[in-house]
């Protein structure tokens, strides 16, 4: 019976992973189950979201846009780089920004766990994962210039369009995060928005400071 229940729980969370972009509130409400069984059922889904969102972010960085400047790189090595860098970036953001989100919620009266805050963040990153659909389009338009500095992908109207689309996916993720915080805590919109805004501001400031230091 336990095995059947576990299989059902895991299957339910795979379905929720697909539905989070369409019916986000129901998915985030389900995250209220912070039991060991509930957490175990969604471990694989959280890992997939965190890793693939990290890959999407890594491929959007200036570093990715210069990989083919190095003659040692080819398509296969870029894929390996994206997988490894994405895993590192996604995991770091999951733990660090998850902590920031947890603490901002605490300041506003949250009684939820750090783990639940991380899981809310993971499912809210689904639009970032979805942004990977733009990569084949970029490659079709610009080819290897996507991974070269000063390539044709950096100029023209299409570059502006892709920039706007990237910003749209990021804004969608922030909106999902607000929906998630509101749903798991049962808060009103102003309180949930304040928690997310505080987390985003602190997280952005940390990224800027790290960039200046490096």
Per residue in 21-80, pLDDT (tens digit) is 999 999 999 999 999 999 999 999 999 999 999 999 999 998 999 999 998 999 999 999
Q: How large is the average pLDDT for residues 111-134? A: 97
- What is the Cβ-side half-sphere exposure of residue 174, based on CA atoms within 13 angstroms? 17
Residue 3, pLDDT above cutoff 70: no
> Mean pLDDT for the chain?
93
What value does the CA radius of gyration of the chain take, rounded to a whole number of Å? Answer: 19
Tell whether the torsion through CA atoms of 188, 203, 123 and 127 is positive or negative.
positive
| pLDDT for residue 189 | 97
Report the share of the chain in percent with pLDDT over 70.
Answer: 94
| pLDDT for residue 4 | 66
Token couple for 75: 């398509």
Find all residues with CB under 8 Å of 132, minimum gap 6, and list them: 52, 55, 56, 59
Cα angle 79-211-107, degrees, rounded to a multiple of 5: 105
């Amino acid at each position: 019976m336990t095995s059947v229940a576990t299989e059902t729980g895991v299957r339910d969370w795979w379905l929720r992973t697909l539905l989070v972009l369409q019916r986000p509130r129901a998915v985030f409400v389900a995250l209220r189950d912070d039991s060991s069984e509930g957490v175990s059922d969604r471990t694989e889904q959280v890992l997939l979201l965190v890793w693939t969102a990290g890959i999407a972010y890594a491929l959007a960085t200036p570093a990715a846009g210069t990989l083919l400047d190095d003659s040692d790189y080819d398509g296969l090595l870029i894929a390996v780089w994206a997988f490894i860098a994405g895993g590192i970036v996604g995991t770091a953001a999951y733990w660090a920004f998850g902590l920031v989100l947890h603490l901002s919620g605490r300041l506003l009266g949250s009684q939820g766990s750090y783990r639940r805050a991380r899981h809310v963040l993971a499912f809210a990153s689904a639009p970032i994962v979805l942004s990977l659909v733009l990569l084949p389009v970029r490659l079709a338009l610009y080819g290897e210039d996507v991974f070269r500095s000063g390539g044709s992908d950096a100029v023209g109207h299409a570059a502006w369009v892709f920039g706007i689309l990237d910003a749209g996916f990021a804004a969608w993720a922030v909106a999902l995060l607000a929906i998630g915080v509101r749903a798991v805590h049962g808060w009103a919109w102003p309180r949930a928005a304040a928690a997310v805004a505080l987390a985003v501001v602190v997280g952005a400031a940390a990224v800027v400071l790290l960039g200046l230091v490096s």
